[in-house]
Amino acid sequence: MRIQKTKLDLLHCSIVFKLKTSFLRRSSHLLWRKARQGSSSHREEAPLSKQEKARNNASDLDYVKNYKPENEAVRHIRVLLHCPVGVGKSTFINSVSSVVRRKVVIPALASSDNSEISFTKEFKTHTIQREGRGNIYPFVFNDVMGLEEGTGRGVHVNDIKLTLEGHVEEGYKFNPVSPLTPSDHGYVSQPSPDDRVHVLVCLYSGNAGDMKDGFLQKMREIREAASALGIPQIAVLTKIDQACGQVEKDLKNTFKSKYVKTKIEDFSRKVGIPLNCIFPMKNYCSETLLDDDVDTLILSVLRAIIDFGEAFANTL
């Protein structure tokens, strides 16, 4: 009976995941098609008014704020972030937190330079504060040491694999040369469903040149490990405003930008993440006030993270 139930759960997950990715695929293709048509046609569709965009953002925000995991064994959807050094995991966390809390905040310390050495050294869980003291949202972000090219540098791929399974204890200090083992302090021998990662998010910069083979190999290895565990994966193309003058001028040009489209297609081809699971996004960096266009892209990513994570959590 238990084996049969597991098979049914996996089948349910597969169906839910296919439905969601099918929806995202249709939405993504529609956006690109509208953008292309808009650039070549004399009859362009009128852009959303500021009021309409605000209403759409408010609807997405309500969805996020009212979300609660269906699986009672999972208190929080656990999101693992990984990326090359300097892409900005902490900045991503701060941007999501800013949108949800409706003010620009900096709860996660971020490096202000483009150092090639990882700013993050320890395994840390970041939460987002709800209104009212002591309450947090039911999704959390795990920050790990950044990826670096070559052996003995940056987070060890094996440590990422252990993190996916929930074996890494909060506060564990990563050792690039020697990954965590079951006999080490900081190893969780019996992780709960809440300890496990429910969705893996890969961040990469739109403002960087082509990734070297060493980075790509590590990313592919991490992706394969997550796939073997059934963990859904999303990629986020950050710093799109710094990478493309058209987008910097007006963020609404994101889905009209050939540069952004090429970056997404290239990453999908090299790492293997489907196009419909890759999202362009601008972080809050120098801003002191929220912006509707920035919020729209961030909320799109956050909704996908929650949906994908929920589907996987229901199989545990």
Domain-located, residue 255: yes
pLDDT at 11: 40
Structure tokens at 30: 């529609």
- What secondary structure does DSSP assign to 296-315, as a single string? HHHHHHHHHHHHHHHHHHTT
Per-residue pLDDT of 226-261, as tens digits, reads 999 999 999 999 999 999 999 999 999 999 999 999
pLDDT at 201: 98
Domain-located, residue 132: yes
CATH number of the domain within which 283 lies: 3.40.50.300
Task: Provide mean pLDDT across the span 162-184.
Answer: 95
Q: Are 233 and 203 in contact (CB under 8 A)?
A: no
Domain-located, residue 46: no
Domain-located, residue 292: yes
Domain-located, residue 197: yes
Domain-located, residue 45: no
- Is residue 62 packed enough to be buried (19+ CB in 10 Å), middle (13-18) or exposed (0-12)? exposed
Task: Provide mean pLDDT across the span 203-217.
Answer: 89
The values of phi and psi at residue 295, to 5°, are: -60, -40
Domain-located, residue 214: yes
Q: Are 240 and 247 in contact (CB under 8 A)?
A: yes
pLDDT at 131: 83
Work out the pLDDT band at 119, boundaries 50, 70, 90: low
Tally of structural domains, the chain? 1
For 96, the domain range is: 2-40+51-313
Per-residue pLDDT of 7-55, as tens digits, reads 445 544 553 454 444 444 434 444 444 444 444 443 445 566 677 778 8
